[in-house]
Amino acid sequence: MPREDREAAAGAVAVAIRKVGKRFGSVAALDDVSLDIRRGEFFSLLGPSGCGKTTLLRSIGGFEAPTEGDILIEGRSVLHLAPYERPTNMIFQHLALFPHLGVRDNVGFGLRMKGADRAETARRVQEVLRLVRLEEYGDRRVDQLSGGQRQRVAMARALVNDPAVLLLDEPLGALDLQLRLQMQEELRRLQRQLGATFVFVTHDQGEAMAMSDRIAVMNAGRLQQVGTPAEIYERPANRFVATFVGHANLVEARLTGRRQDGFAEAVSADGLAFLGQAPPHAGARDAVLAVLRHEKLRVHPSDTVQAGVAASVVERTYMGSSLRFTCRAQGGAILTADTPNDMPGRDIAEGAAVLLDWSPADVVFLTE
């Protein structure tokens, strides 16, 4: 599809996953997964190793056949199509380049297999090499390139036939941190420039946050939550998402009532009282899990503020850009606060008496 048409159609569904299941013997790699990936979206599949990310990606690309459900691309079921017949291209975890061939031959390989003529192949290859900033390297053998450059060759090869949907399986996993951050930016730039749909697999929540329009969090073959990075981070749907993404205090508590302003009240076994946001169906005396992000908990030396939960600092950890205070509240609850390293109170010492506070808007009560 020409780029202009793609942009006009942005927001429509590019890939629809419908109740997809995949079994390998007794292992359910995918269990009843349904989700829509929109056109022009940078969409990430996020979850721990073994949760089914690769299996889902390979199912979209045609390298794996689901045992249940359907997969539609641009509104049509693709289950009967071979990988090369689908409007997708895949970048594998281990790149799968031909090390002894030159960059140009690696990138042009697919086009030549499809019978494109020599001149057209050369033109198109040069175009994508420019896109990934490798136009000077066409004649270089792949085994003479750096890790980042090989990454770009794999990108160029996947983009050369202008796929509507690009599938990327942890493509940055093997790179060291600096290069990985740089390639994250490049991938994002490329995706915006092309307006193509990217489906990106990663187990790294920071990477998914930084790159994605939306994220699907998976665990043990099941979808846990789909949303924007902010939705996932600030309104986690369950305990798994709350712990896998970011750092949070998790406190078992029981709802005691609801206030006029909409906030629910809860009390933990060790006597901590919380206000927070509870789902509408939650009722008094329901067991809940109070989720409070580390950076939303504030620590004050106890002589500097009037109110708060009395606690003492058990441990102070220097983390560079932030400080981590592990505190024991009266009653025994352990709460952790991450504080930017330029805040007043940064020199609070271990053993100090402190007051803790937080905003009810930052507390989420989960009912499962």
Ligand X SMILES: Nc1ncnc2c1ncn2[C@@H]1O[C@H](COP(=O)(O)OP(=O)(O)O)[C@@H](O)[C@H]1O
Nearer to Mg ion, 137 or 200 (CB): 200
Q: Is 89 in the site for Mg ion (CB under 5 A)?
A: no
Among 146, 193, 190, 187, smallest CA distance to 170 is for 187
- Please identify which residue in 33, 39, 47, 54 interacts with Mg ion, judged by CB under 5 A: 54
Closest distance to ligand X from the beta carbon of 169 (Å): 7
Determine if 216 is a binding residue for ligand X (CB under 6 A). Answer: no
Instruction: Mark the segment that binds ligand X (CB under 6 A) among 52-60, 73-81, 123-131, 284-292.
Output: 52-60
Give least dist CB 172 to Mg ion, A: 13
- Hey, what are 151's tokens? 């990454």
Instruction: Give me the least distance between CB of 60 and ligand X, in Å please.
Output: 12
Does residue number 55 form part of the binding site for Mg ion (CB under 5 A)?
Answer: no
Q: Per rule CB under 6 A, is residue 308 in the interface with ligand X?
A: no
Q: Binder to ligand X among 8, 10, 12, 27 (CB under 6 A)?
A: 27
Answer yes or no whether residue 55 interacts with ligand X by CB under 6 A. yes
- The only residue of 51, 103, 337, 354 in contact with ligand X, by rule CB under 6 A: 51
Choose between 140 and 222: whose C-beta lies nearer to ligand X.
222
Q: What residues does 77 pair with on adjacent strands?
A: 72
- Check binding of 52 to ligand X (CB under 6 A): yes
Instruction: From 49-57, 114-122, 132-140, 226-234, give the range in contact with Mg ion by CB under 5 A.
Output: 49-57
| CA distances in angstroms from 343 to 82, 295, 300, 339, 340, listed in the order given | 57, 12, 10, 7, 6
Tell me if 50 contacts ligand X by CB under 6 A. yes
54/197 with CB nearer Mg ion: 54
**With respect to Mg ion, which residue has the nearer C-beta, 54 or 191?**
54
Binding part of the chain for ligand X, among 45-53, 124-132, 145-153, 342-350 by CB under 6 A, reads 45-53
Q: Which stretch binds Mg ion (CB under 5 A): 51-59, 72-80, 98-106, 220-228?
A: 51-59
Q: Which residues bind ligand X (CB under 6 A)?
A: 24, 27, 29, 47, 49-55
Q: Which residues bind Mg ion (CB under 5 A)?
A: 54
